[in-house]
């Protein structure tokens, strides 16, 4: 008899990390029926990933409205999820990560006594306000979930330290599965190279991404000042900055970094465009959690422009350096990667602690074994 799984996600990172699980479930049609529910927490960016991975969506909630707050997303989201759960009656709800969508998906399932599987469980920064609201979201999901699929041994230990010891599995991170699937797709299509035709692939490229709330204000000013200093000192290096549309980011970038010959200020990239560029850049300056996980599989060093990260495994493994948002620290570490070949190589060749691309298979096999 088939068991039913409902995937709930609403942001681009969630969709990326769920894609390989959905694909894996399609290989188990004899035992698993599944449906996909999207909340639309990220609407346009979410649709790009759904199209790229050819995901069939069964329920589209279109949650987002102009000027919504976390209160709105939470209360409206729960009310929209209730009829979906009552209609499909899944045996298991799968949520991923630490978004508000993941939290309300888990909470809604709990209200109807439906078991929850938490993908990417056990991440902790140990600071409830950084990242906000993600740190508290994932802790609350851990309290609700029946099955915890952790990406690393440290994440497993974090759960054990909180008294969560049953059905905790170290499976790696599904983002690596998605990365390998995605690279295979983009490498065969010329349109991605054409999109970046303004870049000279014989020169070094530094990719920059930044979007987190905790960096708004003076921290982001420092980041931009560091990039400006580096671009002036190293005119032969190409800096590519896909800028988040949030005014707290966009306004500062426009004021400080436009009109510089070797800085390309561009619109946010689609997922396939991003992994194409990641594959070809020299190193990455970022506050993105997903990039901290993906870049080591591409042998790209990472400078993490955050004060704390829940992904310390990469820092400990030597794939990333946590530098905060200080201009001086950013310049110092970027120059070290630019000028010190042995240092660069040690980071580029460090082993990715986040998995080998088999996470989805491990998770679905574990679930089917539980159901036997």
The question of whether 279 is a catalytic residue gets the answer no
- Measured CA to CA in angstroms, residue 78 lies from 61, 101, 108, 363 at distances of 11, 9, 6, 26
Which one from 211, 212, 279, 311 is the annotated catalytic residue? 211
Which one from 98, 177, 222, 287 is the annotated catalytic residue? 98
Q: Rounded to the nearest 10 degrees, how much is the dihedral formed by the CA atoms of 82, 86, 91, 94?
A: -30
The question of whether 356 is a catalytic residue gets the answer no
The question of whether 311 is a catalytic residue gets the answer no
The question of whether 42 is a catalytic residue gets the answer no
CA 276, distance to chain mean position in Å, is: 16
The question of whether 118 is a catalytic residue gets the answer no
CA 135, distance to chain mean position in Å, is: 14
Which one from 72, 244, 280, 307 is the annotated catalytic residue? 244
The question of whether 244 is a catalytic residue gets the answer yes
Task: Name the residue with tokens 């938490």.
Answer: 118
| Measured CA angle at 130 (ends 125, 133), to 5 deg | 105
CA 76/CA 92 separation, integer angstroms: 22
Which one from 23, 134, 135, 310 is the annotated catalytic residue? 134
Burial 123-156 (b: 16+ CB within 10 A, else e): bbbeeeebbebbbebbbbbbebbbbbbbbbebbb
Which one from 213, 225, 280, 335 is the annotated catalytic residue? 213
Which one from 120, 222, 293, 310 is the annotated catalytic residue? 120
Active centre residues (catalytic)? 98, 120, 134, 211, 213, 244
């Amino acid at each position: 008899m088939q068991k039913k799984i409902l995937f709930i996600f609403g942001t681009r990172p969630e969709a990326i990390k769920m894609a390989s699980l959905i694909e894996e479930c399609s290989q188990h049609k004899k035992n698993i029926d599944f449906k996909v529910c999207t909340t639309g927490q990220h609407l346009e960016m979410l649709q790009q990933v759904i199209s790229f991975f050819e995901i069939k969506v069964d329920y589209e909630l279109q949650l987002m409205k102009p000027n919504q707050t976390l209160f709105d997303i939470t209360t409206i989201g729960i009310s929209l999820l209730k009829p979906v759960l009552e209609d499909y009656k899944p045996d298991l709800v799968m949520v991923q990560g630490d978004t508000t969508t993941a939290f309300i998906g888990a909470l809604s399932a709990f209200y109807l006594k439906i078991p929850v599987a938490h993908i990417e469980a056990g991440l902790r920064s140990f600071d409830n306000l950084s990242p906000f609201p993600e740190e508290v979201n994932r802790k609350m999901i851990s309290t609700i979930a029946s099955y915890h699929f952790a990406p690393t041994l440290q994440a497993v230990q974090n759960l054990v330290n909180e008294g969560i010891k049953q059905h905790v599995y170290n499976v790696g991170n599904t983002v690596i599965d998605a990365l390998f699937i995605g690279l295979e797709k983009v490498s065969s299509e010329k349109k991605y190279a054409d999109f970046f035709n303004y870049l000279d692939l014989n020169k070094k490229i530094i990719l920059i991404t930044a979007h987190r709330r905790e960096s708004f204000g003076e921290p982001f000013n420092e980041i931009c000042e560091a990039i400006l200093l580096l671009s002036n000192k190293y005119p032969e290096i190409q800096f590519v900055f896909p800028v988040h549309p949030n005014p707290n980011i966009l306004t500062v970038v426009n004021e400080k970094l436009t009109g510089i010959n070797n800085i390309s200020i561009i619109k946010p990239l689609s997922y396939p465009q991003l992994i194409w560029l990641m594959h070809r850049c020299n190193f990455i300056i970022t506050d993105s959690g997903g990039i901290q996980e993906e870049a080591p599989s591409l042998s790209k060093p990472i400078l993490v422009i955050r004060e704390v990260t829940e992904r310390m495994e990469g820092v400990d493994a030597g794939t990333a350096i946590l530098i905060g948002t200080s201009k001086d620290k950013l310049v110092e570490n970027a120059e070290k990667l630019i000028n010190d070949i042995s240092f660069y190589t040690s980071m580029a060749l460090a082993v990715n602690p986040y998995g080998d691309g088999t996470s989805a298979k491990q998770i679905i096999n574990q679930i089917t074994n539980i159901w036997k």
